[in-house]
Amino acid sequence: MENSSAISCPSTPRWNSERPFLTGRFHQETKTTSRFFDTKGYSVDSLGLGSEKAIGCYNAAVQELVVIDDLLSAMVGIQGRYISIKRAHGKEDNFTFQVDASMDLALQELAKRVFPLCESFMLINQFVESRSQFKNGLVNHAFAAALRALLLDYQAMVAQLEHQFRLGRLSLQGLWFYCQPMMGSMQALSNVIQRASANNFAGSAVLNLLQSQAKAMAGDNGVRSLLEKMAECASNAYLGILERWVYEGVIDDPYGEFFIAENKSLQKESLTHDYDAKYWTQRYSLKDGIPSFLANISGTILTTGKYLNVMRECGHHVQVPQSENSKLMSFGSNHRYLECIKSAYDFASSELLNLIKEKYDLMGKLRSIKHYLLLDQGDFLVHFMDIARDELTKKLDEISVEKLQSLLDLALRTTAAATDPCHEDLTCCVETSSLLKKLGTLTDGERSRNVPDDNDLEEPVSITGLETFSLNYKIRWPLSIVISKHSLTKYQLIFRFLFHCKHVDRQLCGAWQAHQGVRALNMRGTAISRSSLLCRSMLKFINSLLHYLTFEVIEPNWHVMHNRLQTAKSIDEVIQHHEFFLDKCLRGCLLLLPEFLKKVERLKSLCLQYAAATQWLISSSIDVPSLVESDGSLVSEKPRQSKSRRPYQPLKLSSSNKTVADSILKFEREFNAELQSLGPILNSSSKAEPYLTHLSKCILGIGNEQ
Same domain, 545 and 611: yes
Helical residues (DSSP H) of 132-202, grouped into ranges: 137-166, 172-199
Residue 406 resides in a domain: yes
Asked whether residue 35 is domain-assigned, the answer is: no
Q: What pLDDT does 573 receive?
A: 95
Of 138, 172, 199, the last residue of a domain is 199
Q: pLDDT tens-digit profile of 642-674?
A: 444 444 333 444 445 677 778 888 888 888 888
For helices 60-74 and 172-199, angle between their N-to-C axes, nearest 10 degrees: 30
Query: How much is the average pLDDT of 527-531?
Result: 77
Flag whether 536 is in a domain.
yes
Q: How many CB atoms lie within 10 A of CB 52?
A: 7
pLDDT at position 352 over 90: yes
Can you name the residues that pair with 473 across neighbouring β-strands?
426
Domain of 668, CATH number, reads 1.20.120.1900
More confident residue, 208 or 318: 208
The verdict on 401 and 334 lying in the same domain is no
Rounded CA Rg of the chain: 43
- Position with higher pLDDT, 186 vs 397: 186
Give the pLDDT band (50/70/90) at residue 20. low
Assess if residue 266 is contained within a domain. Answer: yes
First and final C-alpha spacing in the chain: 71
CA distances from 571 to 238, 349, 478 (A): 28, 7, 11
pLDDT of 500 above 80: yes
Q: Which of 108, 142, 109 is nearest to 128 (CA)?
A: 142
- Number of helices (H), then strands (E), belonging to the chain: the values are 25, 6
Report which listed range, 95-104, 149-158, 212-221, 523-532, is most confident.
149-158
What pLDDT is recorded for position 334? 58
Q: Residues with Cβ < 8 Å from 327, sequence gap 6 or more?
A: 243, 340
382-400 mean pLDDT: 89
pTM: 0.79
Residues 167 and 191 in one domain: yes
Looking at the structure, do residues 378 and 351 belong to the same domain, yes or no?
no
Q: What distance in Å separates the CA atoms of residue 119 and residue 124, rounded to the nearest whole number?
A: 9
Instruction: Check residue 517 and give its pLDDT.
Output: 75
46-105 pLDDT, tens digit each? 333 344 588 888 898 999 999 999 999 999 988 888 998 887 765 666 788 889 899 999
In residues, how long is the chain?
A: 706
Q: What is the enclosing helix (H) or strand (E) of 171?
A: none
Contact by Cβ (8 Å): 568, 304:
no
C-alpha distances in angstroms, 527 versus 187, 378, 515, 590? 104, 35, 12, 35
For residue 363, the model assigns a pLDDT of: 93
497 and 611 belong to one structural domain:
yes
Three state DSSP letters for 297-317: HHHHHHHHHHHHHHHHHCCCC
The answer to whether the beta carbons of residues 591 and 494 sit under 8 Å apart is yes
What proportion of the chain, given as a percentage, has pLDDT over 90?
40
Within-domain flag for 285:
yes
pLDDT band at 502 (very low <50, low <70, confident <90, very high): very high
Interacting residues of 483 by C-beta distance below 8 A, sequence separation 6+: 365, 366, 369, 473, 475, 578
For the stretch 439-454, pLDDT in tens is 876 644 454 444 444 4
Report pLDDT for 42.
33
Same domain, 279 and 348: yes
231 lies in some domain = no
Cis peptide before 478 (omega within 30 of 0): yes
Angle at Cα 341 formed by Cα 336 and Cα 346, nearest 5°?
125
* pLDDT recorded at residue 657: 63
In a domain, 167, yes or no: yes
Cβ within 8 Å of residue 24, ≥6 positions away: 125, 126, 128, 129
Tell me the pairing of strands 284-286 and 260-262: antiparallel
Least confident span in 27-31, 58-62, 144-148, 214-218: 27-31
| Confidence grade of residue 463 (pLDDT, cut at 50, 70, 90) | confident
Query: 427 and 532: one domain?
Result: no
Mean pLDDT, to the nearest integer, of 391-399? 88
Range of the domain at 592: 481-621+653-705
Is the same domain home to 175 and 253? no
DSSP 596-655: HHHHHHHHHHHHHHHHHHHHHHHHHHB-GGGTB-TTSPBP-HHHHHHHTTSTTS---B-T
The residue with greater pLDDT, 521 or 112, is 112
Same domain, 607 and 544: yes
pLDDT exceeds cutoff 80 at 626: no
Q: Please indicate, yes or no, whether residues 333 and 420 belong to a single structural domain of this protein.
A: no
Does any domain span residue 576? yes
* 505 shares a domain with 610: yes
Q: Is the pLDDT of residue 687 over 50?
A: yes
pLDDT at 412 over 80: yes
Spatial separation of the C-alpha atoms in residues 137 and 123, rounded to whole Å: 20
| Residue 553 pLDDT greater than 50, yes or no | yes
Q: Give the chain's domain count.
A: 4
Q: What average pLDDT score do residues 634-640 get? A: 40
pLDDT confidence tier of residue 704, bands split at 50, 70 and 90: low
Which whole number is the average pLDDT over 339-368?
92
| Mean pLDDT of all residues belonging to the chain | 81
pLDDT in tens, 115-163: 999 999 999 998 998 888 888 889 999 999 999 999 999 999 999 999 9
pLDDT band at 2 (very low <50, low <70, confident <90, very high): very low
User: Mapping DSSP to helix (H, G, I), strand (E, B) and coil, where does residue 653 land?
Assistant: strand
Q: CB within 8 A of 194, min separation 6: which ones?
A: 93, 123
Same-domain status, 249 and 174: no
Residue where one domain finishes, among candidates 341, 360, 379:
360
> Where does the pLDDT of residue 404 fall: very low under 50, low under 70, confident under 90, or very high at 90 and above?
very high
